[in-house]
Amino acid sequence: MKLSERKKKILTAVVEEHIRTAEPVSSKAIQKAADLDCSSATIRNELSELGKMGYLEQPHTSAGRVPTPLGYRTYVNELMVRQKLSIEETERLNRDLDEKLNVLEPMVSDIGQFASSVVNYPILTLEAQPPCTISRFDLIYLSAHSFIIVLLLSNSQVKTKLVKLPVSVGQEMITKLSSVFNANFTDIDESEITPLKISSMERAVGDTMGILSVVASYAIEVLSEEKHMKACVSGANKLLSQPEYQDPEKARELISFLSENACGDLLPQQQMAPGENIKVLIGPENVAKELKDSSVILASYDAGQNMKGLIGVVGPTRMDYSGITAKLRLIASELSRRLGGPASLPSGLDNKLILKGDIDGQKT
Partner DNA sequence: TATTAGCACTCAGAGGCATAGAGTGCTAAT
Partner DNA sequence: ATTAGCACTCTATGCCTCTGAGTGCTAATA
Residue 363 burial (C-beta neighbours within 10 Å; 0-12, 13-18, 19+): exposed
Distance CA 301, CA 328 (A): 10
Distance CA 202, CA 296 (A): 51
Residue 62 touches DNA, criterion: CB under 7 A: yes
The least distance separating a second copy from the CB of residue 188, rounded to whole angstroms, comes to: 19
Please, which residue, 54 or 348, has the CB nearer to a second copy?
Answer: 348
Distance CA 50, CA 300 (A): 34
Residue 288 touches a second copy, criterion: CB under 8 A: no
Residue 63 touches DNA, criterion: CB under 7 A: yes
Distance CA 80, CA 16 (A): 9
Q: Which long-range contacts (CB under 8 A, 24 or more apart) does 223-227 make?
A: 223/132, 223/133, 223/134, 223/189, 223/190, 223/193, 224/190, 225/363, 226/129, 226/132, 226/153, 226/155, 226/157, 227/129, 227/132, 227/190
Residue 352 touches a second copy, criterion: CB under 8 A: yes
C-beta of residue 335 within 8 angstroms of C-beta of residue 327: no
Which sign does the torsion angle of CA 306, 311, 317, 323 carry?
negative
What does 170 bind: a second copy, DNA, none (CB cut-off 5 to 8 Å by kind)?
A: none
What does 39 bind: a second copy, DNA, none (CB cut-off 5 to 8 Å by kind)?
A: DNA
The least distance separating a second copy from the CB of residue 131, rounded to whole angstroms, comes to: 17
The least distance separating a second copy from the CB of residue 142, rounded to whole angstroms, comes to: 7
Please, which residue, 10 or 232, has the CB nearer to a second copy?
Answer: 232
Distance CA 299, CA 301 (A): 7
Please, which residue, 2 or 352, has the CB nearer to a second copy?
Answer: 352
The single residue among 1, 2, 35, 61 that binds DNA, judged by CB under 7 A, is: 61
C-beta of residue 243 within 8 angstroms of C-beta of residue 19: no
Please, which residue, 70 or 345, has the CB nearer to DNA?
Answer: 70
What does 32 bind: a second copy, DNA, none (CB cut-off 5 to 8 Å by kind)?
A: none
Please, which residue, 41 or 167, has the CB nearer to DNA?
Answer: 41
Residues in 16-55 that interact with DNA by CB under 7 A: 24-29, 37-42, 44-45, 47-48, 51
Residues in 30-89 that interact with a second copy by CB under 8 A: none
Q: Specify which residues 92 forms β-bridges with.
A: none
By the criterion CB under 7 A, which residues form the site for DNA?
24-29, 37-42, 44-45, 47-48, 51, 58-65
Give the binding site for a second copy (CB under 8 A): 103-107, 110, 136, 138, 140, 142, 148, 150, 152, 156-166, 214, 218, 236-237, 240-241, 245-246, 248-249, 251-252, 255-256, 259, 348-364
